[in-house]
Structure 1
Amino acid sequence: MTDLTKWPRLLVVGDAVTREQANEILIRTNTRHMHTNDRVWETTVHDLFGIARDKHGHPDWKSAQAFHDRYGVLDLTYLANQRIASSWLGGAYGWCDWDGTIGCSNYNIGKWPTVEDVTEEWQAIAAAFPYLTLHAQLVTDEGEGHIAATWAVKDGKTALVEPVGQIASISDDVAAMAAGLFLGTRTERGVSLDRLREALAQLAT
């Protein structure tokens, strides 16, 4: 079995998608466990999603599951996007962006994924979004090791393929991330409220 190590770096390059396709991807691959220090934004998003909260402010699991069922949110452990809200130092992140860009090289997944687990998630993503065309790699030891696995996603299918080289350069702009934190320019919000409403309305039709 290929050892992916504890926190392998995810690299993705792919063909851009349309605005409508990005809306669908980013709602249906959003993390099911959204955490942010921006409580106002978190409350706003939960209210928009129709997700109730308990007396401690935690999402009610029944209403959260109802939202996931209604919009077909995939159950992803390693490959979820966090483009709506994220407490990560670098802010919102993921392999798809709201402008339709498909690609990433600046964050790790984990902990301790297996090739089989990640393959299953790419298969679920490919089946849900057959218009996606991309290649993905995992590089061991937070991007400082070797290419452990490469996937090709196209026409609703996923396959493990032999790498022909590293598909993207590792991006680690920690200084800029830290500066954003200390200067107050960093935000945990990844999308405007209007765009989020647009995406939900599109998927509800």
Structure 2
Amino acid sequence: MLLAGMMAALTKWPRLLVAGDPVTEAQANDILIRSNPRYLVSNDRSWTALVAREYGIPLDPHGGLDWKAAAEVFERLGVLHLNHLANHRIMSPTIVGPHGWCAWDGRIGCSTYNIGKWPTREDVQEDLTAIAAAWPFLRMDVQLVTDEGDGDLAAMWQVADGHAAFVEPGDPLPIHDLTDTAIMLRLFTPGAERGVTLNRLRQALAQVRTKKAHASNEDPPQTSAERDHA
């Protein structure tokens, strides 16, 4: 009967709840570069251009990313293909702003945003299996609550030692909603779609590129600063 209580539909936008052990900032760098969506979208055109430059991705005539070039860069960086559990910590045009289950300071957890739309348990299991395999040091509980957090606890996983197990849910993790003040600040504060400093992003990208280059016995690509002084 392990799964009997968890067969109700997850609904259109279930709330994602995560609580886990913190990771180091170096580990967070790897997680946040490689679990970012395989796109970069923001209404902040200046930030989009700065981030694209750090990634080495050219812009299209409309100021967005050249998607073919972007796909190649994301592949070289080892960015995962995730259905619903990407971290949006570099930029995000959504009402909640930059968000995710991992923070740049290494904290693991979230409770203020929903995933969707219409996710399935299989989709989420696929994401968590990939996440656990990529970062076997992660230890976290993951829950989904139906109806944008107002419904029932419908699914729970435990991630540890490189595996993601679908388990009988325990007590629901705390849910926090953004205040009206926080939403207004997000909507009207310049730079609110930016989730990281340019220096930290540059450091994280260099770390991931160096790790990938060492794994393939290649020289890491030049950073933007190195290109400027070449």
TM-score (norm. length: structure 2): 0.85
**Residue 9 (structure 2) aligned to one of 3, 14, 27:** 3
After TM superposition, the structure 1 = structure 2 runs for residues 7-156 of structure 1, keeping only pairs within 5 Å, are 7-156=13-162
Q: Deviations over 1:86-122 (max 9, x none)?
A: 1122321000000000000000000000001100100
Query: Amino acid of the residue matched to residue 203 of structure 1?
Result: V
Question: Cα distance, 1:138 vs. partner?
Answer: 0.3
> Do the aligned residues in 1 keep the contact of 2:17 with 2:144 (CA within 8 Å)?
yes
Gaps spanning 5+ residues in structure 2: where? 1-6, 211-230
> Do the aligned residues in 1 keep the contact of 2:97 with 2:186 (CA within 8 Å)?
no
> Do the aligned residues in 2 keep the contact of 1:2 with 1:115 (CA within 8 Å)?
no
Aligned residue pair count: 204
Work out the CA distance in 2 between the residues paired with 1:165 and 1:63: 45
Query: Amino acid of the residue matched to residue 158 of structure 1?
Result: A
Question: Cα distance, 1:174 vs. partner?
Answer: 3.2
CA distance change for structure 1 residues 143 and 43 in 2, over 3 Å: closer, same or farther?
A: same
Q: Deviations over 1:110-152 (max 9, x none)?
A: 0000001100100000000111000000000000000110000
Work out the CA distance in 1 between the residues paired with 2:186 and 2:158: 36
> Do the aligned residues in 2 keep the contact of 1:4 with 1:140 (CA within 8 Å)?
yes
Partner of 1:189: 194
Q: Higher Cα Rg: structure 1 or 2?
A: 2
Alpha carbon RMSD of aligned pairs, Å?
1.4
Q: Give structure 1 regions of 4+ aligned residues with deviation exceeding 3 angstroms.
A: none
Question: Cα distance, 1:171 vs. partner?
Answer: 0.9
Partner of 1:171: 176
Give identity over the alignment, percent: 54
Q: Which moved more, 1:146-155 or 1:86-95?
A: 86-95
> Do the aligned residues in 1 keep the contact of 2:45 with 2:63 (CA within 8 Å)?
no
Gaps spanning 5+ residues in structure 1: where? none
Work out the CA distance in 2 between the residues paired with 1:71 and 1:111: 27
